[in-house]
Structure 1
Amino acid sequence: MGKGKDLFGHFNDLAKAKGPQSEESQYAGVLFQALLMVGERRVFELLEEADETGKKLELETSGNAADNSECPSNIILVDKD
């Protein structure tokens, strides 16, 4: 679990260095929101998997038209841009 925690810290450090409008800051926000949704253990596991497969975490919305909300409902791994 140490590697995932280190990755989380690394991305937060990058966000602080690059500033609030940076891509790194936006990704740190995704990681923090994921942490609130599923807890640190799961986020750290996903970060380790993302690091091993060359992917990143992304928040996914439900896509429910009746809900009409931008509230994320899931965390997924996607290819890096």
Structure 2
Amino acid sequence: MGKGKDLFGKYNDLGKEKGVGSEEYNYSCVLFQALLMLGERKVFELLEEADATGKKLSLEYEAQTSEGEIVPSEVILV
């Protein structure tokens, strides 16, 4: 899990460095949302798998709230 935590920190730092609107910032937002949805352990494991396979985490949107908002329903590797 140490490597996953390090990867999370790396992508978060890159997002802050590159700033709002950058690809790096957007990916750091995806990772934070994934953290809220799945918890640290699962996100860190997925980050390690993504790193080993050359993939990234992505949010899949299928759910809709009663107010009509579309919210992420799943975290996938792409």
TM-score > 0.5 by shorter chain: yes
Query: Where do 5+ consecutive residues of structure 2 fail to align?
Result: none
Q: Distance in 2 between matches of 1:63 and 1:73?
A: 6
Cα distance 1:63–1:38, how it changes in 2: closer, same or farther (>3 A)? closer
Q: Distance in 2 between matches of 1:22 and 1:70?
A: 23
Give the match's secondary structure for 1:55.
coil
Which residue identity lines up with residue 11 of structure 2 in the other structure? Answer: F
2:75 alignment counterpart: 75
- Which string of whole-angstrom CA distances, capped at 9 and with x for unpartnered residues, describes residues 43-63 of structure 1? 000000000000000000126
Q: Distance in 1 between matches of 2:63 and 2:20?
A: 28
- Which string of whole-angstrom CA distances, capped at 9 and with x for unpartnered residues, describes residues 11-52 of structure 1? 011011101111100000000000000100000000000000
The structural deviation recorded for 1:69 is 4.0
Alignment RMSD, CA only? 1.7
* Matched residues, number: 77
Which residue identity lines up with residue 42 of structure 1 in the other structure? Answer: K
Give the match's secondary structure for 1:10.
helix
TM-score between the two structures when normalised by the length of structure 1: 0.87
2:53 alignment counterpart: 53
Percent of residue pairs identical: 67
Q: Distance in 2 between matches of 1:62 and 1:38?
A: 16
2:20 alignment counterpart: 20
